[in-house]
Amino acid sequence: MQSLGQTFHAFRQNKNLTLKEIADEQVSVAVISKFEHDQTTLSINRFLHFLGRINVTTTDFFYHYFDRFENEKVLDIWGVQASFEGILANFYEGNHIASATNTTDINEMGALKTYTKAVQVKARQEPTLINRVIAAWMASILDAQQLHFDDSAKTIQPVVDYLTSVGEWNELELIIFVFIIPTADPDVLMQLFRRYLNQAELYQGLPEANNLGFSACFSLFTCMIAKQKGKYAVQVLKKFDKLVTKFESARFAILREFLHGWLKVFQGNRHDGLEQCQTVLNLTQTLGLAKTHAYYHELYEHLSASPPTLLIFVRFF
């Protein structure tokens, strides 16, 4: 896989630009050369300035940077998400499909089984590394759906091994990490989470992917609460707090207050926790944030149940 510097070097050469031609008062020849040879890192502002000097958009740059598997026939992971959005949403918000008896849920489970089998067949036909990873991910989802949690932890292991072995994650690895949150071991998830945040930091400020850290923190927080890992839930929420402070996001500041109320409920302070969550609900309603209010209301219904429903919510913001 090419590094950021190597990708930049390829763009510069394709445009027949010399180091001297793109150097200016902000960017010296020496700094450009070090970046291309992976001897230095850049801030987001400096990186965007570099791209401006060679007249390349962030979309074009990362399209080529992410194209790690250009010589492989890769299974359509995005098609999985789109075609079975309803099934995956039900899985990530609980396991009611596996225990339900209504016709719709049974049909959805059958569709998931059929699709998973098709993915495994295609992966055997094109047994590349990434295809095997996608097939293992789908198999782990199916195992968990059927409440075979021990099997799910085993089938997800190739995905964990893959994420551990990749030196520099790109968008694909970041998304895969969030997808494996419901099924992977909590200790392993926390180890990978630190890598996730470090890599996601590179993309903060880019409009295409500026909420990656928030997505992981939210999804992982709900996972740790559901799996009764209070210590980890506190650690993840602290990371979320730091992101909100760093990026001064009003949207996620509201979510932060809700999550702190959620944590209080988990820790046994049910009255104060629910009251804090209700305050957030009232705020979103007052501000006219209809979709946000509806989503928080759904979360609140699970929290206010007696006992609270322990569900894992995976969401990309």
- pLDDT bucket at 275, cuts 50 / 70 / 90: very high
For residues 184-204, give the mean pLDDT: 83
Write the DSSP string, 222-288: HHHHHTT-HHHHHHHHHHHHHHHHHHT-HHHHHHHHHHHHHHHHHTT-HHHHHHHHHHHHHHHHHTT
Torsional class of 234: left (φ above 0), alpha (ψ -120 to 50), beta (otherwise)? alpha
Last-in-domain residue among 67, 91, 109: 67
Residues 81 and 51 in one domain: no
pLDDT in tens, 43-88: 777 888 888 888 887 666 765 665 554 444 444 443 444 333 343 4
Last-in-domain residue among 30, 49, 67: 67
Longest distance between any two alpha carbons in the chain, whole Å: 69
Residues 199 and 63 in one domain: no
Is the Cβ–Cβ distance between 62 and 33 less than 8 Å? no
Q: Which residue has the higher pLDDT, 76 or 283?
A: 283
Whole-number Å distance between alpha carbons of 47 and 42: 6
Of the listed ranges 23-27, 68-72, 214-218, 245-249, the one predicted with least confidence: 68-72
Residues 86 and 102 in one domain: yes
pLDDT in tens, 250-268: 889 999 999 999 999 999 9
Residues 104 and 128 in one domain: yes
Could you tell me if residue 274 is inside a domain?
A: no
Is the Cβ–Cβ distance between 153 and 184 less than 8 Å? yes
Residues 50 and 99 in one domain: no
- Kindly tell me if the per-residue pLDDT of 32 is higher than 50: yes
Whole-number Å distance between alpha carbons of 211 and 247: 10
The sign of the dihedral angle between the CA atoms of 250, 255, 261, 266 is negative
Is the Cβ–Cβ distance between 141 and 91 less than 8 Å? yes
Residues 110 and 43 in one domain: no
For residues 237-258, give the mean pLDDT: 91
Q: Which residue has the higher pLDDT, 136 or 275?
A: 275
Could you tell me if residue 127 is inside a domain?
A: yes
> At residue 98, what is the residue type?
A
Residue 142 maps to which CATH number? 1.25.40
Last-in-domain residue among 67, 89, 112: 67
Domain containing 89: what range? 74-248
Whole-number Å distance between alpha carbons of 97 and 104: 9
Q: In the chain, how many domains are there?
A: 2
- Global pTM exceeds 0.85: no
Residues 63 and 81 in one domain: no
CA distances from 242 to 199, 202, 253 (A): 16, 16, 11
Residues 137 and 61 in one domain: no
Q: In this structure, what token pair is assigned to residue 269?
A: 């302070």
